[in-house]
Structure 1
């Protein structure tokens, strides 16, 4: 997904999130979000993306690079992720003190596949790039070892309360699309139960 595709998708997401916001149940929206109708931030510059790649020692996958060149971070990436990192905030999960507990929690857990060919979730988490900065005991990651022919890294969504291990997606774009669909699904369920 390039910038010309990200911008309208994220604009639609922003508008729908703002319209669906329930001040009695949801966290308050930033004044800037309401004023601009945009959950994102100013775009990162090519220099900021290059600096992040140099700091991380890897070229970022295409859909994440284009996302950052559209918005340097994101608010409310679904109902359980409150903030996505911008270029200066991207970090390897293993290098983040506050989030590195995820790795230990998922090493050799009951979620690890009994198949010896399957890699334990803790090992995937140990090498992954942390995308989310704040969430409801949930996290979003990208795995630099699981790369497709387009250069896209596999994405993961994980919540400690889900009762499941990490949920895999083919790319950052697919992970974001799932978060968008999930927010609509949960809003629909809420309105149906409230009727």
Structure 2
């Protein structure tokens, strides 16, 4: 097993005191989504993307760890089961519907929100409250926190954290977003 002594994204967020500059968040997200896209092309849905599972070999080397909840699916098929971490789980997982690879895009969108704002988009106290907020998926950008975030970054967040799975971006679409 490779050793990644340079920490994980969660520790980096804590050390940074919250939010990153947009260009730093863009760099990390691009690397993460490149990995996610590769997984999806191979038929692998990670299902537990969160900062703790994003490791750094260096700033140019983002790795995705902990495939313990991952599922291998044949193209066009879906999976079921409630797995993941409360803040990062997609609404369709909580609804008990069959779901596909876009659950990873949702989770990566939550990670992006944390990198830009310093907190998750649906931040509440208990798992039940978090799940209710995720199911509503009412995404907001508090002006005092998001004042320095570009309209393009907010647009990307809206497309990654879209409750409608058919309108939610795929990993490839995220990579092509300006």
Q: Give the TM-score normalised by structure 1.
A: 0.27
The structure with the greater share of residues assigned to helix is: 2
The structure with the greater share of residues assigned to strand is: 1
- Greater C-alpha Rg: 1
Higher relative contact order (CA 8 A, sep 6+): 2
Q: Give the TM-score normalised by structure 2.
A: 0.29
